[in-house]
Amino acid sequence: MVKYLISLFLLALFAAPAFCEPAISCHCFQDRSFDPDRPAAVDEYLLATTQNSFMAAAFGFPKQDLVRAKMKGSSGDRLWVAHYVASRSKHSAADLQTARGGVSSWRAVFTSLGIEVSSFGSAFADALSGKASEAGLAAAAADETLIA
């Protein structure tokens, strides 16, 4: 009986620090409030949350879905391109992202799905013609969404 109590005591002793940890110990942004001693610390959070809000409003889907996709590893640039193209084609953003995973470029996605480049705005079409990176296409998509 004594061995049992000692074992139980040791188990509780070593498990105690785990009880002190918060349930969610990790978050993308640790600095989410303004600190006058480090005024730029919150910039990354403010930019991300503003971008998420704008993208959700512009393309008409819940912001939480976008945040969840980013937390699962989706690239912000890929999300911009997928939602921009989805808004100008008959394909969903999810289908476009799936198709993009299997080919080397967005141009290959558009060709395989029969999406005409003429359905895009001039800035996006120019970026695509110039073989812009995914970040370049995302920037063009964001610019055209802001202007529209």
Q: Confirm whether pTM is higher than 0.85.
A: no
pLDDT < 50 stretches in the chain: 19, 21-26
Give the DSSP H/E element, type plus range, for residue 51: helix 43-59
For residues 112 and 105, is the Cβ–Cβ distance under 8 A? no
Q: 94: closest CA among 128, 69, 71, 118?
A: 69
pLDDT digits (tens, 9 = 90+) for 52-94: 999 999 999 999 999 999 889 899 999 999 999 999 999 999 9
